[in-house]
Structure 1
Amino acid sequence: MENHDNLAEKENSATNITEETLPSSPSITDHEEADPKPDDDHGAEATAQAEPSSPKKDEEEAEAEKKEETASPPPSLEKVSEEIDLFLVTLPKKNDDENAAEKNFEIPGFFERYTDLVEKKIAKYDAEGKAKWGEVAEEDSWLLETANRVSKLMMLLNHHHHHLVEPEEEEKENDGGNGKGKGKDSLVNRVASIHQRVMSYLEEDFRFLMEECRIPIELDPGGNNNNNDTKGKQQQQQQVSSSEQEEVKKDQEGEIDESFPGYSEETIASLSKIAGEMLPGGYESECCQVYIISRRNAFEEVRKKLGLERISIDDMVLKVQWETLAANMIPAWINTLKQCAAVYFPGERRLAEAVFASSPSVSAGLFGSLSRGVVIQLLNFAEGAAMTKRAAEKLFKLLDMYESLREVIPKVNGLFPDESVEELKTEMNVAKSRLGEAAIFIFSDLENQIKLETAKSAVPGGAVHPLTRYIMNYLSVAGDYKETLEQVFKDHSKIERADSTSRPHSENDGVPEKQASSPFAGQVLRVMDLLDSSLEGKGRLYKDVALSNFFMMNNGRYILQKIKGSSEMSQVMGDTWIRKKSSELRTYHKNYQRETWNRVLQFLNPEGLNVNGKVHKPVLKERFKSFNALFDEIHRTQSSWVVKDEQLQSELRVSISGVVVPAYRAFIGRFAQIFDPGRQTEKYIKYQPEDIETYIDELFEGKPHQSIARRRT
């Protein structure tokens, strides 16, 4: 306002001056003509001060001004950047002026100056090479600030593209313009080029931080123990369970190892800053691509450290030996799955959320894509294992995999983004079902294995039949998986095979239906019934009735001990079955004793030896001869019979000695004096009671012995 008032006063003063007051000298300069002559002392003083200088003085002043202009430095990049930032801040908001795009937008002259300076710095980077991120903090900050500033310029220029007005030539000159006159389209292109170059540098830095600044992590490649021992497996499960609980506890308390997935806090902060500029700057796809490739590579390293080979379903089914899968690959898969759930997935989620903190949707999308890729890779392995040729030895490894998936699935809600939870849970349940169906098929096939065992030769020595050992050892290990098998049969036994002998509530080959507490228990009862029937048929292969009963007793005892030795299988079979089996064993034992040792006792019966009150010596001699011959034969025969169960072996020997030795001792005590001392006594009384006990203790060792009579000669 003050300037305007002064100007008005000058105008009024000039109007009141008359021509008579002007000087009459003909040599008045333009400058003098323009200045009125004062009519008072003050005017005279002013006129005296305004007297024109000589031409030489004018030239000197012009030269001085020119030197002054030349001496002042051009605006710096920092200064021009501040002008750009101030300009951007003072622009009207879009909401404040909805028609801003429809109005002419004048490009300030310092835009050109800014692009010149930034292009010059980028050219220097291209020529000399840009320092790696973290080496020069100022350069890192400049790059981020420039990316932010140029992104805003790009948005501004694109928004006003059709209404851009170039700056006046005078403004361009005053702003240090170089007279390029490149035009608005050229400016837009130059800014776009700068934007692309700056973003490419950020992309390189992002890749460098993702790849080169990753900290190697230590992983436990354990879980490769191929241990089917029940106690060992239980201990292993307890250790895994304890480890997982500790991981969950640490995660909840925020004390989980922050080095996973292998970046320092400083690196994550830098990654977040770069992503925070690339995403809004239109380079989201480039940034995300670098991130996802890097993290996929990181998982490949994890997979290799844990010993899990990448393998296709076809190769698993057709090429890989089951022994290799069981000994190495399946344990590694189980360990990988559990570590992914406990460590890898939570770590990846935290990393994505930290790096892409400015865009939760991008974070969730990246983590969802990465995690889904890992899960599908793991599930393909599970389906491949389930599709391998069905064989009995595969059951427990498949159940181990089933249990691992069963443990992980409930954690899915807390592991993955909401939008991918249901899909992943469905995929995991499908894989679990495939494993469950394969397990049912294999376990149910025990029936067919029993039926196909049609050997026509008896097992030597009445020993425990290989089929008995195989089935009972199999069921004993199965007992350790009782809860899992009960769930498997309950949830996955809906599909029935046309040739199945194990359909629930069926009566196949004369096997009666059993009342069972679960579908699994019913299946086990059917297997046991088939095994009993098979053993009965094999027992009939023995011509010796005593040996047939011995065989049934021997195998029955083995079956009962295996069932009673597993609390889980005892629950499955039930007390009623155990009592019935115990009763059957007593019957077989009685039959064996009747067919063997009762015959021996007949010769120790005193009845029929007295004739008219006197011992009939010829009959007594025959009794001793018959006893000796029969005992020698039994000893020779039954020494080759086999009882591997030490407890049963001891019980049999004790029970036989308890019957035979007292009877023999009493018989000798009553009739030994009938014989003449010396050779006659030795001829008929070949054994002392202690000898009988010693020889009985040599029975059932599976070692053929020569006759006692020949050993004594």
Structure 2
Amino acid sequence: MENNLAENSGNVAAYDTGHTPHSPKPEPTDPKPDGGGTAEGEPSPPPSETLHEGDQANQEKKNETVKESPPPNHEKLAEDIDQLFLTLREDNDKSKGNAEKLEIPRFVERYLHMVEEKIIKYDSGEGKAKWGEVEEEDSWLLENADRITKLMKLLTNHHCEIEEERRNSLVNRTGSIQQRVMSYLEEDFRIIMEESRIIPTELDPGGNNNNADPKGKHVASSEKQEDVQDPDREQTESQPSFPGYPEEAIASLRKIATEMLSGGYESECCQVYIISRRNVFEEILQKLGLERISIDEMVQKVPWETLARDMIPAWINTFKECAAVFFPGERKLAEAIFADNPSVSEGLFSSLSRGVVIQLLNFAEGAAMTKRAGEKLFKLLDMYETLRDVIPKLDGMFPEESVEELKTEMTLAKSRLGESAIAIFCDLENSIKSETAKTAVPGGAVHPLTRYIMNYLAIAGDYKETLEQVFREHSKIERPDSTGMPRQENGASASDKEAASPFSTQAMRVMDLLDASLEGKARLYKEVALSNFFMMNNGRYILQKIKSSSEMSQVMGDNWCRKKSSELRTYHKNYQRETWNRVLASLNHEGLTVNGKVQKPVVKERFKSFNAMFDEIHRTQSTWVVKDEQLQSELRVSISTVVIPAYRAFLGRFAQILDPGRQTEKYVKYQPEDIETHIDELFEGKPHQGVGKRKT
């Protein structure tokens, strides 16, 4: 009885002993569980006529004390509640967890009433101040959230000397208050997460892949190497803006998260966190130019030009940003906010990062599933390289329990990109086979098919190491030479190791098939000289493209280059024989002298023959096309070297036989200088109106 009155007066003297107060068995005079009594929550004194004379005096004295005591304020009730929890903890420590039943003081109801009044005030027209605007309000909310949580645990987890009806009432009331308090904290948590965050401004939509042309060719392999190194540099530059919140915001978020998790509102807190950070990622995707898109949309609706020009470079840059900046920053952020709950921070980071990775990998798989076309190869290889370079870094980037799953997902996407790249490269064979034009290229020029295949291989050389890896790791079957042609036996090569790889074998197969196709196209020319000229012209283009790429030179091997050079010399000799050897025959001195006397008619016929053949060659071969300036110069020099000395010697010996004047002018049409001038007009791909007359 005395204890109950002391409790109802707000007196905490019982806690000063260091013992938890215990209630005796309820007596008829004990206050009702609903706290009824005076307006201030005090129990009504029992009727004096029911008490003995001494008890009545004591009761009057106590009632007088109650009337004189001021109403307990918030600070006093908070102190009483805190003292209750402290006492409970001390008793548990002393009894090693075997504390006796605890009596719940009556001021608990008054404390709950006080908190309810504050909540009613918040819910009224005034509303609660925004977090950070009134520091006292923020502190009040956090402190009382902590007290309410502790009180809830006390009521549900401890043996309390309390009537069942009162216990249920307190549990329901405390739970309702806790729900309202936590809803305020949840809203504050959301507002801080959304309004205090910073989207990094230095993200580059195009990334380093802006140095790629529309077909996917990188400007230089050295720049490709810079692509691999850039993420580390960007991480250093971007680090100040991650995890993207000022320190005071992080501190507030950590306090709120701690209270919500302690109060059993982990799911609500984590949901707000996940939604907020996913929104950040969506904004980053938007900033980088990579919109959310499904695999079906990529395959069926988005033009490849849009993917190649905008979306794939954005994807590559996004993946690099994620690996270098976003993921480390997200892990740091989760660890900072949920510092008191490491398992929660790891779970949140794993969930968030996995969602991001899966979204990016869906894009990669969609790109791999688009209709195969030659121009897609190098963009797919760019994506392949991105995944290849990120996968080894996963171990230090993600929690141990999630890293293997992410590795598996990324490796699967990388494999699909690799398999698609192999299929596209092997389709070069079909590109060659499908070129069935029956019309010869004018002027024996380099055939468009030759240019396409060799430019393709030249770009492929920039990806040699990647293609070697792709063919080595993702070739599903070993198949015989699809061209049906035996491989050329080039002998032991300086690059036997490379030549033995699946990629080198496929490149050789493409080259063999291209050679066979060109031989068929050469037969479309009626002139043997032009047919050989065509093969020489295309062969020279092929050889120069291979030699200009150190990577493709390694793939094809030194022996292949020597063999190709030997073929070119043969084509050149055949062209020279069919064209200029006939010209030289007209300048032959044999048969011009009989018994020491020059046969004038025969000399005239020889001059006429030379003039006619040279005119015809000049007329036709000036329309032949050699775009390679070096080859063009070499051909002209080789022609001049054999023709001009022979003509000069013939002219010097036999021109004097002709009668001066009209006869000489009629038969001696050219001077050696004229011959040289007209030879320099060959192979320009444009007809000349005629040849100049003999210089006087």
Fold-level match, TM-score > 0.5?
Answer: yes
Residue 197, structure 1, aligned to residue 180, structure 2: yes
Residue 509, structure 1, aligned to residue 498, structure 2: no
Residue 541, structure 1, aligned to residue 485, structure 2: no
**Distance (Å, rounded) in 2 between the aligned partners of 1:323 and 1:420:** 36
- Could you tell me which residue of structure 2 aligns to residue 422 of structure 1? 404
**542-551 or 515-524: bigger deviation:** 515-524
**Distance (Å, rounded) in 1 between the aligned partners of 2:189 and 2:281:** 19
Report if aligned partners of 1:632, 1:709 keep a CA contact under 8 Å in 2: no
**Distance (Å, rounded) in 2 between the aligned partners of 1:405 and 1:369:** 20
Whichever residue aligns with residue 339 of structure 1, its letter is: E
- Could you tell me which residue of structure 2 aligns to residue 133 of structure 1? 131
Report the CA distance between 1:708 and its aligned residue.
2.5
Equivalent position to 1:401, from 359, 368, 383 = 383
Report the CA distance between 1:242 and its aligned residue.
3.3
Report if aligned partners of 1:164, 1:184 keep a CA contact under 8 Å in 2: yes
- Could you tell me which residue of structure 2 aligns to residue 73 of structure 1? 70
Q: Residue 708 of structure 1 aligns to a residue in which SS?
A: coil
Whichever residue aligns with residue 93 of structure 1, its letter is: N
Whichever residue aligns with residue 438 of structure 1, its letter is: S
**Distance (Å, rounded) in 1 between the aligned partners of 2:505 and 2:63:** 109
Decide whether aligned partners of structure 1 residues 382 and 444 sit closer, same or farther in structure 2, where only a CA change above 3 A counts.
Answer: same
Report if aligned partners of 1:464, 1:558 keep a CA contact under 8 Å in 2: yes
**Distance (Å, rounded) in 1 between the aligned partners of 2:594 and 2:70:** 152
Decide whether aligned partners of structure 1 residues 618 and 95 sit closer, same or farther in structure 2, where only a CA change above 3 A counts.
Answer: farther
Equivalent position to 2:119, from 118, 122, 135 = 122
Equivalent position to 2:206, from 202, 213, 222 = 222
**Distance (Å, rounded) in 1 between the aligned partners of 2:483 and 2:223:** 39
Report the CA distance between 1:709 and its aligned residue.
7.1
**Distance (Å, rounded) in 1 between the aligned partners of 2:437 and 2:603:** 47
Residue 279, structure 1, aligned to residue 277, structure 2: no
- Could you tell me which residue of structure 1 aligns to residue 279 of structure 2? 297
Question: 1:267-293 CA deviation, whole Å, 9 max, x = no partner?
Answer: 011100110110011100000000000
Report if aligned partners of 1:564, 1:570 keep a CA contact under 8 Å in 2: yes
Equivalent residue runs for 1:371-450 within 5 Å: 371-450=353-432
Residue 647, structure 1, aligned to residue 630, structure 2: yes
- Could you tell me which residue of structure 2 aligns to residue 82 of structure 1? 79
Residue 479, structure 1, aligned to residue 477, structure 2: no
Residue 151, structure 1, aligned to residue 155, structure 2: no
**453-462 or 621-630: bigger deviation:** 453-462
Decide whether aligned partners of structure 1 residues 576 and 138 sit closer, same or farther in structure 2, where only a CA change above 3 A counts.
Answer: same
**Distance (Å, rounded) in 2 between the aligned partners of 1:711 and 1:457:** 39
Equivalent residue runs for 1:25-36 within 5 Å: none
**Distance (Å, rounded) in 1 between the aligned partners of 2:223 and 2:270:** 40
Whichever residue aligns with residue 246 of structure 1, its letter is: R
Question: 1:409-458 CA deviation, whole Å, 9 max, x = no partner?
Answer: 11111111111100000000000000000000010111122122222221
- Could you tell me which residue of structure 2 aligns to residue 622 of structure 1? 605
In the TM superposition, structure 1's runs of 4+ consecutive aligned residues that sit over 3 Å from their partners are 62-72, 97-100, 160-163, 228-231, 503-508, 709-712
**Distance (Å, rounded) in 2 between the aligned partners of 1:98 and 1:229:** 70
- Could you tell me which residue of structure 2 aligns to residue 38 of structure 1? none
- Could you tell me which residue of structure 2 aligns to residue 314 of structure 1? 296
Is there any run of 5+ residues in structure 2 with no aligned partner, and where? 1-58, 490-495
Report if aligned partners of 1:511, 1:530 keep a CA contact under 8 Å in 2: no
Report if aligned partners of 2:361, 2:410 keep a CA contact under 8 Å in 1: yes
**Distance (Å, rounded) in 1 between the aligned partners of 2:334 and 2:558:** 57
Q: Residue 220 of structure 1 aligns to a residue in which SS?
A: coil
Q: Residue 688 of structure 2 aligns to a residue in which SS?
A: coil
Whichever residue aligns with residue 237 of structure 1, its letter is: K
Report if aligned partners of 1:506, 1:513 keep a CA contact under 8 Å in 2: no
Residue 241, structure 1, aligned to residue 224, structure 2: no
**Distance (Å, rounded) in 1 between the aligned partners of 2:402 and 2:63:** 71
Equivalent residue runs for 1:483-498 within 5 Å: 483-494=465-476, 496=477
- Could you tell me which residue of structure 1 aligns to residue 33 of structure 2? none
Equivalent position to 2:566, from 566, 583, 592 = 583
Report the CA distance between 1:67 and its aligned residue.
8.7
Report the CA distance between 1:97 and its aligned residue.
5.6
Question: 1:83-116 CA deviation, whole Å, 9 max, x = no partner?
Answer: 111111111328936554xx64321121122112
Is there any run of 5+ residues in structure 1 with no aligned partner, and where? 1-61, 167-181, 497-502
Report the CA distance between 1:676 and its aligned residue.
1.8
User: Considering only CA atoms, is the larger Rg found in Structure 1 or Structure 2?
Assistant: 1
Question: 1:120-140 CA deviation, whole Å, 9 max, x = no partner?
Answer: 122122222111111111211
**Distance (Å, rounded) in 1 between the aligned partners of 2:189 and 2:402:** 27
Equivalent residue runs for 1:319-358 within 5 Å: 319-358=301-340
Report if aligned partners of 1:464, 1:554 keep a CA contact under 8 Å in 2: yes
Q: Residue 526 of structure 2 aligns to a residue in which SS?
A: coil
**Distance (Å, rounded) in 2 between the aligned partners of 1:296 and 1:341:** 16
**Distance (Å, rounded) in 1 between the aligned partners of 2:62 and 2:480:** 112
Whichever residue aligns with residue 512 of structure 1, its letter is: R
**Distance (Å, rounded) in 1 between the aligned partners of 2:694 and 2:306:** 54
**Distance (Å, rounded) in 1 between the aligned partners of 2:327 and 2:96:** 47
Count of residue correspondences: 623
Decide whether aligned partners of structure 1 residues 680 and 282 sit closer, same or farther in structure 2, where only a CA change above 3 A counts.
Answer: same
Q: Residue 257 of structure 1 aligns to a residue in which SS?
A: helix
Whichever residue aligns with residue 486 of structure 1, its letter is: E
Residue 96, structure 1, aligned to residue 95, structure 2: yes
Report the CA distance between 1:537 and its aligned residue.
1.2
**608-617 or 363-372: bigger deviation:** 608-617
